[in-house]
Amino acid sequence: MVEKTEVTMDSGEGTGPVPAKEPAEVLLGYYRDMVLIRSFELTAVEMYKRAKIGGYCHLNLGEEATVVGLTAALHKRDYLFTTYRDHGYALSRGMAPGQVMAELFGKTTGVAKGRGGSMHMFDTETRMLGGYGIVGGQIPPATGAALALTYRGEPGPDAEAVMCQLGDGTTNIGAFHESLNMAAIWDLPIVYVIVNNRLGMGTTVEAASGEPELYRRGASYRIPGERVDGNDVLAVREAAAAAMERARAQRQPGLLEVMSYRLKGHSVVDPARYRSSEDNERAREADPIPALRGSLLQAGIIDEEHATEIEREADEQVSAAVAFADSSPDPAPGELFDYAYATPVANAPHTLPGDPVVEMP
């Protein structure tokens, strides 16, 4: 049994002075990744307003340190399952920004060939196995992925493991509890990460949860829980890496609660009028991007010019992603049934609305 590490902070305090031992290149890499997500998401808002993107569109704005810290804790061989607020994870896990944007645009060059859209980023290469639109839907499959790993490898520092990200509201769904219970009794190599942005759509954690300190919910299953400041990319990485290490080496499932903020509404179309001005102010103050930027400047790792250069590069990458998505082909109606079944089957339906249901000689 691993000792529970309790972090008392419950409001994001952001990145403090950067530790001297942390290589400058690593820190710069995190800053680049975070800035790329910020630029991508702001552009997604713009593209949504121009109707290039349809459906629901949930953004990682304000959660950049959380996203980058979590994915930094993953090995290439690890699997990641996420919620529908998934653009940043897709980018951070290594999917090409152009293909992620093309998925938002519903193009054939999208990571899911335009079949999934914003909520369903998926890529077997980078082992991000979705983006799930149903709240809590990803948790049992992620648990099953961890179960599959127990059939194909032994525990150890280089073993594969699973990270399953979820939101604060999701901890009230049955699938969460059923999954933690199975992970515990079967010793599964999985870390459940609650990104607590304090709001499930418009409902606060306190209003929705009998135990609002969500990391404590692991206790019912003897799964060690830990809470960490989601605005501190290094703190997130360290906590996630330690939990993943226990999952890989000891098959000890873990529960990590990352305290973060949503800078905007639940989705692009939500003006979030239910949020108080104080809450919005706290979220703005906790914004991890200016915080990390300030720390890097203070530590002399970058200067103003270098920082601006990184930000400009991110904007250019996103512009190129938009151009790629825009110029990519739309799927043709004739491709509608292309992924109906993995194993072809007799009499599979392939009629369009208004077609005869049966062709007889």
Q: List interacting residues with another protein (CB under 8 A).
A: 79, 81, 110-116, 120, 122-124, 129-130, 132, 134, 137, 139-152, 174-175, 178-179, 181-182, 185, 338-343, 345-349, 356-358, 360
The strand pairing partners of 351, in sequence order, are none
Least spacing, CB of residue 331 vs another protein, in Å: 10
Nearer to another protein, 4 or 177 (CB): 177
DSSP, collapsed to helix, strand or coil, labels residue 152 as helix
Nearer to another protein, 186 or 274 (CB): 186
Q: What letter would DSSP give residue 2?
A: P
Ordered DSSP codes for 41-103: HHHHHHHHHTTSS-S-----TT-HHHHHHHHHT--TT-EEEE-S--HHHHHHHT--HHHHHHH
Smallest distance from another protein to CB 95, Å: 12
- For residue 142, the minimal CB distance to another protein (Å) is 6
Residue in the structure block whose two tokens are 């529908």: 84
Helix (H, G, I), strand (E, B) or coil at 236: helix
Minimum CB–partner distance for residue 355 and another protein (Å): 10
DSSP code string of 335-353: GTTTTS-SS--TT---PPT
Q: Please state the closest distance from residue 76 (CB atom) to another protein, in A.
A: 16
Asked if residues 72 and 232 have their Cβ atoms less than 8 Å apart, the reply is no
The smaller minimum CB distance to another protein, of residues 94 and 174, is found at 174
What is the smallest separation between the CB atom of 250 and another protein, expressed in angstroms?
A: 18
Which residue lies nearer to another protein by CB, 148 or 323? 148
Name which of 319 and 339 has its Cβ closer to another protein.
Answer: 339
Q: CB-wise, 98 or 110, nearer to another protein?
A: 110
> Do strands 162-167 and 199-200 pair parallel, antiparallel, or not at all (unpaired)?
unpaired
Q: Measure the N-to-C terminal CA separation of the chain; round to a whole number of Å.
A: 69
> Residue 35 or residue 244: which is nearer to another protein going by CB?
244
Sign of CA dihedral 9, 14, 19, 22: positive
Alpha carbons within 13 A on the beta-carbon side of 350: 15
**DSSP letters for 289-345:** HHHHHHHHHHTTSS-HHHHHHHHHHHHHHHHHHHHHHHHSPPPPGGGTTTTS-SS--
Q: Half-sphere exposure of 96 toward its Cβ, with a 13 Å CA cutoff?
A: 13
Nearer to another protein, 20 or 360 (CB): 360
Smallest gap from Cβ 332 to another protein, in A, equals 15
CB of 244 to another protein, least distance (A): 17
Is the alpha carbon torsion for 183, 252, 14, 84 positive or negative?
Answer: negative
Query: For another protein, which is the closer residue by CB, 29 or 329?
Result: 329
Minimum gap (Å) between residue 227 Cβ and another protein:
25
Placement of tokens 């607590």 in the chain: 196
